[in-house]
A and B are shown apart, each in its own frame.
Chain A
Amino acid sequence: MTEPRKPLPRPAPESLPYWEAAAQHRLDMPHCQACDGFWFPPSRTCPHCTSADVDMKTVSGRGKVFSFVIYDRVYHPAFATEVPYAVALVELEEGPRLISNIVGIPAEQVRCDMPVAVVFDDVAENVSVPKFKPL
């Protein structure tokens, strides 16, 4: 009997560059050449100015916790040994907000507006998931 495994991301075509960068422990965000804006999740039209002149750009990896929740209920058997765990909406310095886990501290110590920085969790061969730890 093997332990249930956490789901791996199943990327949309436009997300592949993001996950390829993460596998190399780089946090890359979709970026607009026309207006210099960032956004998330990845898409091929800039939501700030609708330009199609977009690329991926490595960001600081620093941000703050905009909000968070702490799971006590198990919705997937692979997380049965993780509860209580924190899922946060992290706002990067560059602007985009993304869902992640806060690691390195007990879930109960996570706070809104807490400064955090990215770390990478190597979850499978060539798959790394960006997570955040307090600064």
Chain B
Amino acid sequence: MEMIEASRDLRDTCAIVGIGNSRLGKVPGVSSLDLIVEAMRNALDDAGLKASDVDGILCRGPDDVYSHHQMVGERLGINAKFSTTVTNGGASQILSVALAVMAIRHGLATTVICGYGRDAWSRTHANEEARVRNETRPPSQLPREFGPEYGYYSAAATHAFGATRHMHLYGTTKDHFGQIAVAFREHALRNPQAQMKKPLTLEEYHAQRSIVRPFGLYDCSLRSDAAGAVIVTSRARAKDLRQPPVVIKGFGTHNNTRGWFADDNMVTTAAKQSGERAYAMAGVGPRDVDTAQIYDCFTYMVLTQLEDYGFCKKGEGGDFVASGALRMDGALPTNTSGGQLSEAHAEGMLQLVEGARQMRHTYAADRQVRDAEIALVSGHGGNQVCHSTLILGRA
């Protein structure tokens, strides 16, 4: 309990004061680093800050480069008191914000920029071989045994193992996964920047091209050129800045480092413990959350995280999503910008951006979750077992 007491000291101490994203979708001829810096420039403009006001850089890396954060700093033209890259995959973006809060609270930095993005669409469409492999990681990071000889490829398959097991244990159906894809597509149609522009019906979902069963095309997130960024500073400094501060109420992490295939990790994910820690720090529970931005690399991952976060019981995620809960007028409007399934995929960075924007109440009525006071954002990655949770609120 001592640790939970200590983390409560961080509740409501820092805020997100700048939010930005790059162009999203198909942005040929722009490197991942330039996409990140584009998002960071937009976040700085949003906050009314200059790059020289920033003294901390935290970002995910490397996809394919060494010491990513240094290259970001070079392009922003700044030195940093506190700067590093984290390698927890899609859990890195919230982890970066968590590290920023800790660094700021302990005087290691005052204003930290966090961001990530990648040129995943351009990279997987560079030539025919890249299109067939559909792999964002460089060959040096791929398995050399216990996979390729069996034709076991892609993150889709790895997550599909969890989906199959969940369906076996709890009677979850493809219809349930379809409800998630359809809800997020509806949200994307309200978002002019979203990569996907066409409506998606449940019938079209069921008629989709199969990829690796139980997943078809619409169960899989997008390959996108996309980046996002946020700027974190103390509540005291936030008062003097341009935008209404988005308060960082709490965060948590958990890492099932024994592996995705160990224990029951593929059906009860690290979101469970990560969420419990974040709720404890923020002093809220699942019933207090007005909107969720859930890491949706695949439809199934939304369903299981909704259970792990306590929005419904384990095994009841199917009924929960079928109730329409995820829609703008539902009990828990989720992935309100379209998510990685329909807006663009930047490894959780755009979930963070959307959660923060919802807390500013600046959207027009069709995109704003009405009266939203608390947003939960999730990050998942790092060989499927690293998780991070952020709980945001209004000042």
Interface residues, chain A, with chain B CB atoms under 8 Å away: 6-12, 15, 19, 41, 47, 66-79, 82, 84-85, 87, 89, 97-101, 111-113, 123, 129, 131
Q: Is B244 on the interface with A (CB-CB < 8 A)?
A: no
* A77: nearest chain-B partner, CB-CB: B132
Segment at the interface with A among B36-44, B86-94, B109-117, B158-166 = B158-166
Q: Is B75 on the interface with A (CB-CB < 8 A)?
A: no
Are B146 and A6 in contact, CB atoms less than 8 angstroms apart? Answer: no
In whole Å, how far is A114's beta carbon from the nearest beta carbon of chain B? 11
Q: 1/0 per residue B122-140: CB within 8 Å of A? A: 0000000000111000000
Are A75 and B132 in contact, CB atoms less than 8 angstroms apart? Answer: yes
Q: Is B157 on the interface with A (CB-CB < 8 A)?
A: yes
Interface size class of B (residues with CB under 8 A): 20 to 34
Are A71 and B157 in contact, CB atoms less than 8 angstroms apart? Answer: yes
Alpha-carbon distance between A42 and B209 when the two chains are bound, in angstroms: 37
**Which residues of chain A are near B153, meaning CB under 8 Å?**
75-76
In whole Å, how far is B209's beta carbon from the nearest beta carbon of chain A? 8
In whole Å, how far is B155's beta carbon from the nearest beta carbon of chain A? 11
Q: Is B213 on the interface with A (CB-CB < 8 A)?
A: yes
**Most chain B CB neighbours (cut-off 10 Å) among A12, A74, A89, A98:** A89
> Provided the pairs A89-B261, A98-B146 are in contact, do residues A72 and B211 lie with their beta carbons within 8 angstroms?
yes
Q: Is B363 on the interface with A (CB-CB < 8 A)?
A: no
Restricting to B137-181, which residues have a CB under 8 Å from any CB of A?
Answer: 144-154, 157, 160-162, 164-165, 168
> Provided the pairs A7-B149, A9-B146, A75-B133 are in contact, do residues A87 and B165 lie with their beta carbons within 8 angstroms?
no
Alpha-carbon distance between A75 and B131 when the two chains are bound, in angstroms: 9
Alpha-carbon distance between A97 and B263 when the two chains are bound, in angstroms: 10
Alpha-carbon distance between A74 and B134 when the two chains are bound, in angstroms: 10
Residue in A7, A67, A123 whose CB lies within 8 Å of B164: A67
> Provided the pairs A12-B145, A67-B164, A97-B261 are in contact, do residues A73 and B151 lie with their beta carbons within 8 angstroms?
no
Alpha-carbon distance between A74 and B215 when the two chains are bound, in angstroms: 14
Restricting to B203-253, which residues have a CB under 8 Å from any CB of A?
Answer: 209-215
**Most chain B CB neighbours (cut-off 10 Å) among A69, A70, A72, A82:** A69
**Which residues of chain A are near B266, meaning CB under 8 Å?**
67
Are B157 and A87 in contact, CB atoms less than 8 angstroms apart? Answer: yes
Are B165 and A67 in contact, CB atoms less than 8 angstroms apart? Answer: yes
* A113: nearest chain-B partner, CB-CB: B168
Are A67 and B145 in contact, CB atoms less than 8 angstroms apart? Answer: no
In whole Å, how far is A118's beta carbon from the nearest beta carbon of chain B? 13
Alpha-carbon distance between A11 and B146 when the two chains are bound, in angstroms: 9
**Which residues of chain B are near A113, meaning CB under 8 Å?**
168
Q: 1/0 per residue B299-313: CB within 8 Å of A? A: 000000000000000
Are A76 and B151 in contact, CB atoms less than 8 angstroms apart? Answer: yes
In whole Å, how far is A122's beta carbon from the nearest beta carbon of chain B? 12
**Most chain A CB neighbours (cut-off 10 Å) among B147, B209, B212:** B212
Residue in A19, A79, A123 whose CB lies within 8 Å of B151: A79
* B153: nearest chain-A partner, CB-CB: A75
**Which residues of chain B are near A69, meaning CB under 8 Å?**
157, 160-161, 164, 212-215
**Which residues of chain B are near A47, meaning CB under 8 Å?**
258
In whole Å, how far is B121's beta carbon from the nearest beta carbon of chain A? 18
**Which residues of chain A are near B209, meaning CB under 8 Å?**
72-73
Are A99 and B212 in contact, CB atoms less than 8 angstroms apart? Answer: no
The 7 closest A-B CB pairs, nearest first, are A75-B153, A9-B145, A112-B168, A72-B210, A7-B148, A70-B213, A10-B144
In whole Å, how far is A94's beta carbon from the nearest beta carbon of chain B? 15
Alpha-carbon distance between A123 and B145 when the two chains are bound, in angstroms: 14
Alpha-carbon distance between A82 and B261 when the two chains are bound, in angstroms: 25
> Provided the pairs A11-B145, A12-B145, A75-B134 are in contact, do residues A70 and B212 lie with their beta carbons within 8 angstroms?
yes
**Which residues of chain A are near B65, meaning CB under 8 Å?**
none
Q: Is B262 on the interface with A (CB-CB < 8 A)?
A: yes
> Provided the pairs A71-B212, A72-B211, A74-B132 are in contact, do residues A6 and B164 lie with their beta carbons within 8 angstroms?
no
Alpha-carbon distance between A9 and B219 when the two chains are bound, in angstroms: 30
